[in-house]
Amino acid sequence: MAEFTVRTSRRFEIVDITSEVNRLIPASIPCGICHIYCPHTTAGITINENADPDVKHDLLRKLAELIPHDETYYQHIEGNSDAHLKAILTGFCQAVPFRNGRLELGTWQGVYFCEYDGPRTRHVKVFFQEARD
């Protein structure tokens, strides 16, 4: 298992963590599955397009429209119910195959850490499982 830190600077933010995950893939495992896990209830992990930065903007804007921060019916005392709901939609983990030290993502794909209650210092846990024939 490996772990790294993500520091966010805004309440809602999407951070490309693809290169950080690739860096952690052990050379001793030629191919397998990489499990990327976020141990936070107001953040998530997703895979999406990483070629056009407007995609991150559009995703955050639509999530804010669908799940507003200031709904009057939220009862959670911390005031971040919207962040919990957004994290549920994103999910907290992804499993991605890897080979020869690289995630086997599609041409336009990247792995994203999604912050919904920042700015914060967060942790991402990464597990590697070797493929067996």
The SS3 of residue 87 is helix
Q: Report the largest interatomic distance among the alpha carbons of the chain, rounded to a whole angstrom.
A: 54
pLDDT given at position 38: 98
CA within 13 Å, CB half, 71 = 14
Q: What is the pLDDT of residues 76-133, one digit of tens each?
A: 878 789 999 999 999 999 999 999 999 999 999 999 999 999 999 999 999 999 998 6
pLDDT given at position 76: 84
Q: What is the pLDDT of residues 6-57, one digit of tens each?
A: 999 999 999 999 999 999 999 999 999 999 999 999 999 999 999 998 999 9
Question: Does the pLDDT at position 69 exceed 90?
Answer: no
Q: Helical H runs in the chain?
A: 18-24, 54-66, 81-90
Q: Give the domain range for residue 64.
A: 2-130
| Both tokens assigned to 120 | 């914060």
Q: Is the overall model pTM greater than 0.85, yes or no?
A: yes
What CATH number does the domain containing 107 carry? Answer: 2.60.120.460
Q: What angle do CA 77, 36, 110 make, to 5 degrees?
A: 100
SS (H, E, C) 71-85: CCCCCCCCCCHHHHH
Residue 35's nearest CA partner among 102, 110, 96 is: 96
Is residue 21 exposed (0-12), middle (13-18) or buried (19+ Cβ within 10 Å)? buried
pLDDT given at position 132: 82
Please state the domain count of the chain.
Answer: 1
Tell me the pLDDT band of 71, cut-offs 50, 70 and 90: confident
